Amino acid sequence: MNTQNPSSNDILTPLKKSDFPHIQIVQASAGSGKTYTLTQRVVQFLLSQSILNNEINNIMAITFTKNATNDIKNKVLEWVKKIYLDQLSKEEKKQIIQLIGTDNKDLTSLASKSIEEILNNYSDLVLTIDSFITKIIRSSAIELGLNPDFEVDVSSNSIIDYAFDEFLESVSDSDLRKFLIFLNEYSNQNIDFQVVKSIKKKLNYLLDQESSHKSFFIFDEQIINKLKLELEPILDEMLNLLEQYSAQKIRGNTGPAKISSLKNALKEKNVLSVLANKIKFPYKDKLAELQWKGCFEEINSKLYTIARTKNFPYLKLFVEFKKHIVKTYNILGKTFLPDVNKRIVNLLEKGYVPTIYFTLGSYIYHYLIDEFQDTSKMQWEILKPLIEESLSKGGSLFIVGDLKQSIYGFRKADFEIMKNLIEHTEKIFPQSRCISRSLNYNYRSFEHIVNYSKKVFKEYLKDIINETNDPTHYLDFEAIPLNEHLSKGYVKTQLFNFENDEGINCIKESLLKTIDDLLKNGYKLEQIAILAHTNEEINTISGWLLEKNYTVLSQSASDIRQRKIINEIMQLLKFFNNPLDNLSLAAFLLGDVFNFFLKRDKIINFLLENRSNKILYINFKNTFKDTWDTFFKDTFNSIDHIPVYELLLNIIKRFKIDENFQQESHYLSFLLDKILELEQSGINDMGSFIEYFENNAQGESNLFSCEFSKAQEGIQLLTIHKSKGLQFDVVINILNADKNYALNPNKKSGKQNEFVFENENENSLDYLFIKKDFLANDTLNSVYSNALLKGNIENFNILYVALTRAKMQMYNFIYYKQTDKPQCPIIEEEVGTKLSSFSKELTADANRNFVRFSVSYNKLLTQSPAWTIKRIKDSKKGEIYHKLLAHLKYEEDFLKLDELVLKYTKFIESDADRIKQQILHILNVDELKKLFDKSNKVFTEKTFIDKNGKIFRMDRVVIDSNGYITVLDYKTGNFTAQEIAEYKSQVLNYINILKDFFDSDNVFGIIYNINTKGVIKVEQGLFD
């Protein structure tokens, strides 16, 4: 078996001028070296002398996450550095020489030049898709009708929440009543008691959906009125037929109750209820039967409009809500990216592509896209015409992806984009030839794990997959283990069924025993990962493990409101907010935090003695006076004057929470950050914060979900979605068969009946209501079936990702509720032999993705809650100064200051003349004026990288004619002595970086405060 790296030998080949334009599609199964291949392709393009237009600014590598972006950047730079330092193995050097088509003697000089280019363009070497689109929009801001220096906000919940509150205030009570009547009359909706919360949830859903489509939702009341006029005579005719023949005997199995329900629906003109109670004509009369059938045929001909208008009440509100969002963003000087995406698509459709390349400042000839299966339709609408233009100029497109790992449908990823490109490349890009390759070797998993994952899909799930026509090629994909992985690995699959409400608890005992056995066999906690589908499952399992005193780490979203210590703190805050809240005070006193200072048995006795007391805290204060004075008194007496942030810091210090619960440090730090965020959005009093904390929806994207990135010794818990791209020595999969079509096909009929459909005939988005009664309409049937299919395919893909993360051992715990129907098609089995851990080291992948988390908690506890509204405004002004000064390289550039100030201040509230005068003053300061001399070499907003790979952006770096280097750092505002010391330390760090970068000791630093006109010189001391 071939043990060489097939991604380099078989996938990438030397390229010459005649090979362009071309498209190369690489289908990469899990663990097959996808990132390695993409990295090699980038290095090949940067170093090759046979490829035209291969300067770094002519190449665009695109990924979908910031982590992937940084990973590929680092690997490209690492490869080029190894070439330059001659650290490649013989095989690697042979491979690179073959790829770039050069002699060994030229490698070093090519790599040297490439390193300099990479460092000069490091931030743009690889971009996320959102960053690239933002770059396009920013370069074309004027054409899009935007402020040239606009701020992009992808999904600011606080801004949208504010817009919703403004919207609600603008809606009169009479309008809200009309909406509720409208909702009841036309949509047959049940209105819950939390109507405002329900409306907000629906409007946010519509906003998310509209953001991912080219078209907009519209509301046209004429459509409803027209439908009503058309349906009314039909419904009257049906009611008359039933009344006319009601004296006759009912035929068939139709009961009187069914007829009565239908009559009521016809009287109320409720067409949805009519369809739900559809029956054959219940009386014997051929003519009446024909009339009855004709009425339903008429209704069926209007099914699409009926499905469309059911949710019109919400669309009416949404259109108004959207106006408030746009208004709010405009006030803040921000731009909502999804709406601008539509504008850029519109420009591209009008042939604007060459102009975009012109405004970008460079022509992109070569596109390399990672994880292509995660592309959304809107993203592809933008990328496709740009790629088309590049191919027409002799460029190339290189994509890697795996249809089987498309699991981000909730983010609007659409695997069909990649599928269509694979199958119909000649139709999509007719001017270019296409090369299609597959990465078939699995570098991650041992043989028994590789073969088991194939067996699941090709044998156990074969019949179910055939029902979907296998669009993602599960029945013919290849995965070949490496020679060194043959006959190794272990898989154990267990099935658990439960009755009533036991749920996931049915696996608890077996899961804990499995972990215990692994530890006895020499595995360390950090070699074990537990994957589950939902955060709720993760939180439950985390509780089990903590009960057994295991250290638990999580890289998945974790709601801090599930943390016991956080909840105890919140109970104390609730008491301070309302001293009559006896329950909250009692809950805090009985908790772990207070137990360090007063034993729980004393508290229990006190509570029992005072259980009938209406004001508990007064008796507590009298009974435990010293304790009250030490821990409660100061805060209690000043509660109205302390911001929430400061109050929480005081609580943490006073109750020594940071010392007694060090494992909670990350959660506490995260909570403090969130309080600052909420203060910025206007939630800055205790009552508002408590209400927001308790009512903000839990889930994947809620404000209080935090992510961890640590390499401590602990069991790693992740959702399956978060595990994509990672690997672990041992994986334990927790799989709920009742939530996954692949594991329980009986669950395929989902409850979804609301769908968003792009109506190209009317250039609008339609919010459709579809039930099985509506499937007589071809369009509705297609929308419904396609959504169901995609949902089922994503279930297959989620299972595939789960089964392909393990390196050495994998345990599958599949649980489901017991029913009479056949359940999981996967059987219980045990494959391979258990291995003891042969390595005390973490796998390279795990070590990379779980870096150690550290927080200077003393620093955190002494910092000030500085982010007030005033601070935000000051920060905005500071940004303006920096952007203006970035344009002023030399003294002559100050002549265009009027134009620049107008450009950057016309969209926000600011004193333009004052800004101008403060900047002009720089030329009156001798130490600064010489830094703008024409003879200098100047870098503004320049990115540098230190020895550890950290990135720093410096305001201004000047090299004078004598080779002396000065770094100038601009500041605005008034600062404390501590802050000045921190700024000096920052500039000293810049000096060290520049010394290493330019190999010079003649480096100096200056801090200039634009507001106070103060100049601080920064030099290293003799012993620094």
CA separation for the pair 946, 585 (Å, rounded): 51
- In terms of DSSP H, where are the helices of 65-128? 66-84, 90-100, 104-120, 122-125
CA separation for the pair 382, 349 (Å, rounded): 9
The answer to whether 394 is annotated as binding is no
The answer to whether 328 is annotated as binding is no
DSSP string, 287-306: HHHHHHHHHHHHHHHTHHHH
Nearest Cα to 797, choosing from 536, 496, 471, 417? 471
Backbone CA torsion sign across 602, 607, 613, 617: positive
Amino acid at 707: E
Which structure tokens are listed for 54? 């291969």
Is residue 368 within 8 Å of 61, Cβ to Cβ? yes
Nearest Cα to 1003, choosing from 951, 955, 962? 962
CA separation for the pair 32, 443 (Å, rounded): 6
DSSP string, 477-490: ---EE-GGGTT--E
Is residue 428 within 8 Å of 459, Cβ to Cβ? no
CA separation for the pair 583, 603 (Å, rounded): 13
CA separation for the pair 204, 236 (Å, rounded): 38
Backbone phi, psi, residue 31, to 5° = 75, 20
CA separation for the pair 974, 981 (Å, rounded): 13
Within 13 Å of residue 523, how many CA atoms lie on the same side as its CB?
Answer: 24
The answer to whether 30 is annotated as binding is yes
> Nearest 10 degrees: CA dihedral of 804, 806, 810, 811?
-80
Sequence-distant (≥ 6) Cβ neighbours of residue 701 within 8 angstroms: 157, 557
- The end-to-end CA distance of the chain, in Å, is 58
The answer to whether 33 is annotated as binding is yes
Which structure tokens are listed for 403? 């249809």
The number of residues in the chain equals 1024
DSSP string, 591-652: SHHHHTTS-HHHHHHHHHHTTT-S-HHHHHHHHTHHHHHHHTHHHHHTGGGS-HHHHHHHHH
The answer to whether 37 is annotated as binding is no
CA separation for the pair 751, 747 (Å, rounded): 10
Exposure pattern of 389-406 as b/e (b: 16+ CB <10 Å)?
bbbeebbbbbbbbbbbbb
The answer to whether 29 is annotated as binding is yes
Is residue 239 within 8 Å of 265, Cβ to Cβ? no
Is residue 458 within 8 Å of 796, Cβ to Cβ? no
CA angle 614, 615, 621 (to 5 degrees): 145
Instruction: Determine the distance from the C-alpha atom of residue 78 to the mean position of all C-alpha atoms in its chain, rounded to a whole number.
Output: 28
The answer to whether 294 is annotated as binding is no
CA separation for the pair 593, 652 (Å, rounded): 10
Within 13 Å of residue 215, how many CA atoms lie on the same side as its CB?
Answer: 15
CA separation for the pair 1004, 987 (Å, rounded): 9
Partner residues linked to 755 by β-bridges: 768
CA separation for the pair 409, 795 (Å, rounded): 10
Q: What's the DSSP call for residue 413?
A: B
The answer to whether 599 is annotated as binding is no
Within a 10 A sphere around the Cβ of 183, how many other Cβ atoms? 21
Q: Residue positions in the annotated binding site?
A: 28-35
Q: Residue positions in the annotated binding site for ATP?
A: 28-35
